Amino acid sequence: MFNTPPPYLYLKNQLTPSLCSLHFSDDSTSFAVSYLINNLGFSPQSASKLCSTYNFSFKTAQNPDSVLNVFRNHGFSDFQLRHIITKLPELLSCNPSKRVLPKFQFLLSKGASNSDIVNLVSKNPRFLTRSLENHIIPTYELLYRFLQSEEDTVALAIHKIYLLSHDPVPNNITMLVENGVRDSTIARLLQSQFR
């Protein structure tokens, strides 16, 4: 069964803006290409294409090293990191203490394991582009309202990877409430997603 949103939870959504805007010199692009090859196992061709496609570069290893350390400390493999960085290369130039770690810590505080986080982010890197305060936490709390269980809410969020990253999920649940659908019915709809 494909892990895709059911029609009542998902509508077509605009792409989220990138985390950072990056414009550097040719030297910094060359450094970034070498870094991707030596630290993440990218082929020279794929590293060069990634940097040129996204106009992506950096001048030192300090920040990308700190980003990769956060991921590796939570159990991500180089294969998984290559996939994530291919989707979101700008992560290597962002502050992981603000962009990445708080989201991991939130999930861990709710009972998720490191392997749960690896599974969620590897399959849906878009999760890392969402605001913790403005989207992830409110969406989690909305799901919890109906499931009434931290364990079930975390399990559903990990099982259905789109739940914490797509705007239509909270919007459509709210629409159901405003149209008089009972909490128990919404709970059953959510619970049916475990199947």
For 32-91, what is each residue's pLDDT tens digit?
999 999 999 999 999 999 999 988 888 899 999 999 999 999 999 999 999 999 999 999
Residues 52 and 121 in one domain: no
| Confidence label for 175 from pLDDT (cuts 50, 70 and 90) | very high
Q: How many domains does the chain have?
A: 2
pLDDT band at residue 191 under the 50/70/90 scheme: confident
3: pLDDT strictly greater than 90: no
pLDDT at residue 170, rounded to an integer: 87
- Fill in the DSSP letter of residue 15: P
What local confidence, expressed as pLDDT, does residue 2 receive? Answer: 39
* 178-194 mean pLDDT: 90
Q: Measured between alpha carbons, how far is residue 64 from residues 61, 98, 114, 150 in Å?
A: 6, 14, 21, 33
Q: How does residue 16 score in pLDDT terms, banded at 50, 70 and 90?
A: very low
pLDDT at position 10 is: 43
Domain endpoint, select from 41, 69, 95: 95
Among the residues of the chain, which ranges form H helices? 26-40, 44-53, 62-73, 78-87, 96-99, 101-109, 114-123, 137-147, 150-159, 168-178, 183-191
Q: Which residue has the higher pLDDT, 3 or 95?
A: 95
For residue 43, what pLDDT is reported?
Answer: 95
Q: Residue 55 sits in which domain range? A: 18-95
Give me the pLDDT at residue 55, please: 86
Question: Among residues 62, 95, 128, which one ends one of the domains?
Answer: 95
pLDDT on residue 26: 60
Kindly report whether the global pTM for this prediction surpasses the value 0.75. Answer: yes
- What are the tens digits of pLDDT across the range 127-138? 999 999 999 999
Buried b (16+ CB within 10 A) or exposed e, 53-92: eeebbbeebeebebbbebbeebebeeebbbbbbbebbbbb
Mean pLDDT over each residue of the chain, to the nearest integer: 87
**Residue 112 shares a structural domain with residue 195:** yes
112 and 78 in a common domain = no
Query: Domain ends where: 59, 78, 95?
Result: 95
What average pLDDT score do residues 169-174 get?
89
pLDDT tops 90 at residue 20: no
- Within this chain, do residues 120 and 133 fall inside the same structural domain, yes or no? yes
52 shares its domain with 108: no
